[in-house]
Structure 1
Amino acid sequence: MSVAIIAGRGALPAALAQAAPMRPFVAALDGFPPEGLVPDLTFRIERLYPFFAALHEAGITAVCFAGAVQRPRLDPALFDPITAGIVPRLMASLAQGDDATLREVIALFEEDGFSVIGASDLAPALVPQAAFYAGEVQPRDRQDAARAALIAEALGRVDVGQGCVVQQGLCLATETLAGTDAMLAGVAALPAGLRPEAPRGRGLLYKAPKPLQDRRIDLPALGPVTVARVAQAGLGGIVWEAGGVICLDLPAMQAAARDAGLFLWARQPGEPS
């Protein structure tokens, strides 16, 4: 199997390339360059089928999506005739939300003969399984994690986001289009009067995939920067769904968490509080 990473912005494409057994082919969406990685090919949505042909010519049989992208502006003058024919499909999926759009993208690649694999298939070490990775989790943290898991599941079912912040049973913030860093910045800026007293539980960031999403694409991701943002927000730690979240440089996350006095917990779904 010859794999191509379909890359967007951020550190994930480079982390995947480094963790893979062999250096994958890298194709980046125009306007969304990955960090620390030079693409072998840059492509545009308007010329999707010429891009597929280039992948076939390079001997690619499987693709793995990694990195952040926003909906690109499409230039009608750039469409090739075959790609132009699927515009109604793309527009219909865009109108239904991110999950529907991603499912349609997967379908297009599969229809052209590519296998679509997930980050956990290409680099399983980046998707940690259930364990405590730093710090100590208290009973209040377990209760907050169970509450946060319910909130994140509800958000995911309506295709809103993949995370939330909970402190002593109160939802301080939910993740939306602006992303995790913006959510944590909002928590850090909350007036003290809107937050519970920290000694009874400092609260936590919780991340999990959406319940109905295809886990081969758009898994939530955490990294050392997330740990720093959680500390700045005055929270006690990070909890994520075991086997469902990518951790960029887990050893660095653990070191940062220990330095900040935070806990890191990959929680088994459905674990009691």
Structure 2
Amino acid sequence: MTDLAIIAGTGTLPRLLADVAGPVVLAELEGFPSEVPGADPIRFRIERLVPFLETLIERGVKRVVFAGGIRRPRLEPELFDARTATLVPRLLGAMQAGDDAALRAVIGIFEEWDLEVVGADAIAPDLVPGPGVLCGAPTPADDADATRAAGIVAALGAVDVGQGAVVAQGLCLAVEALPGTDAMLDFAALHARLRPNPAGARGLFYKAPKPGQDRRVDLPAIGPETVARAAAAGLGGIAWEAGGVLLLDRAATIASAQAKGLFLWAR
């Protein structure tokens, strides 16, 4: 029997955490299947949140970790049970304030049910690299672009918009918004010619948590697909805030970056 539940979304993170944590209770929001092989998940809807929380308690769960990607589901008013309906004003108000506010509201509800919310890094600390260059060799020009990008990401995060930016030669080519990282990198690929000096620094993708973000949820993540899209955008590398970003499938991500000539840098 386990006391840990993974509230899973899409992507590889739920599988990685399940591999490290051993037996867990796996739960999936309807419409966002996880990639945990052999799992028999509890499937739930936001409209039935209170019964879902009761199910977790009945299964002996004391800790939960949120892992994987989801998008805000369309709520069906007729599906709300009476007790979950009492949470609607609180949830809707938080959702209108932004992703960070919505996640804080969800954490608060889980904690009110005596469920401890823990971060993915608490389950698998090796997923969060400390400072250092993992591969490649960033140049002074890359350092300047990373500093510029970090300032942009901090400004975006302060208004709860995104966690990433693409900067080349001091110019911001793209920022992360609701469509996500992949869409941002695809946009940067379409506008790669905006670099003023074709022979200059190729630019980089920078990622960091939002200022004041509760790092137990929605910690930024980088993996092999991020490397592939950054390479397609013609970038020189990927940089991120050391200790604030999950590196998924580390060996595969580093191997892909080396093969494509990109640096990986935890600043």
- Please indicate the TM-score interval, normalised by the length of the shorter structure: over 0.9
Q: Read off the aligned partner of 2:245 and give its amino acid letter.
A: V
Deviation string for 1:157-206 (max 9, x for gaps)?
Answer: 011100000011111110011111111111111162x2232432110000
Classify 1:62/1:152 alpha carbon distance in 2 versus 1 (closer, same or farther; 3 Å): same
1:18 corresponds to which residue? 19
Classify 1:191/1:13 alpha carbon distance in 2 versus 1 (closer, same or farther; 3 Å): closer
State the identity %. Answer: 57
2:246 corresponds to which residue? 246
Cα distance in 2, alignment partners of residues 205 and 15 from structure 1:
24
* Residues 227 and 253 in structure 2, CA contact (< 8 A), matched pair in contact too: yes
2:236 corresponds to which residue? 236
Q: Read off the aligned partner of 2:231 and give its amino acid letter.
A: A
SS of the residue 1:209 aligns to: coil
Deviates more, 1:27-36 or 1:223-232: 27-36
* Residues 28 and 39 in structure 1, CA contact (< 8 A), matched pair in contact too: no
Classify 1:198/1:255 alpha carbon distance in 2 versus 1 (closer, same or farther; 3 Å): farther
Cα distance in 2, alignment partners of residues 251 and 245 from structure 1:
16
Deviation string for 1:77-105 (max 9, x for gaps)?
Answer: 22121111111111111111111100000
1:97 corresponds to which residue? 98
Deviation string for 1:126-170 (max 9, x for gaps)?
Answer: 111111101001111111111110010000001110000001111
2:196 corresponds to which residue? 196
Cα distance in 1, alignment partners of residues 167 and 118 from structure 2:
33
For residues 95-174 of structure 1, what are the structure 2 equivalents within 5 Å? Answer: 95-174=96-175
SS of the residue 1:202 aligns to: coil
1:207 corresponds to which residue? 207
2:257 corresponds to which residue? 257
Deviation string for 1:41-69 (max 9, x for gaps)?
Answer: 11111111111111011110000001111
Cα distance in 2, alignment partners of residues 16 and 251 from structure 1:
16
SS of the residue 2:56 aligns to: helix
- Structure 2 residue 182 is the aligned partner of structure 1 residue 178: no
* Residues 162 and 210 in structure 2, CA contact (< 8 A), matched pair in contact too: yes
Shift of 1:39: 4.3
Structure 1 unaligned spans of 5+:
268-273
Cα distance in 2, alignment partners of residues 19 and 207 from structure 1:
25
2:224 corresponds to which residue? 224
Q: Read off the aligned partner of 1:5 and give its amino acid letter.
A: I
SS of the residue 1:128 aligns to: coil
* Residues 5 and 26 in structure 1, CA contact (< 8 A), matched pair in contact too: yes
Deviates more, 1:161-170 or 1:11-20: 11-20
* Residues 6 and 65 in structure 1, CA contact (< 8 A), matched pair in contact too: yes
Runs of 4+ in 1 over 6 A off after TM superposition: none
Q: Read off the aligned partner of 2:261 and give its amino acid letter.
A: G
Cα distance in 2, alignment partners of residues 63 and 111 from structure 1:
13
* Residues 10 and 34 in structure 1, CA contact (< 8 A), matched pair in contact too: yes
Normalising by structure 1, we get a TM-score of 0.94
Q: Read off the aligned partner of 2:84 and give its amino acid letter.
A: T
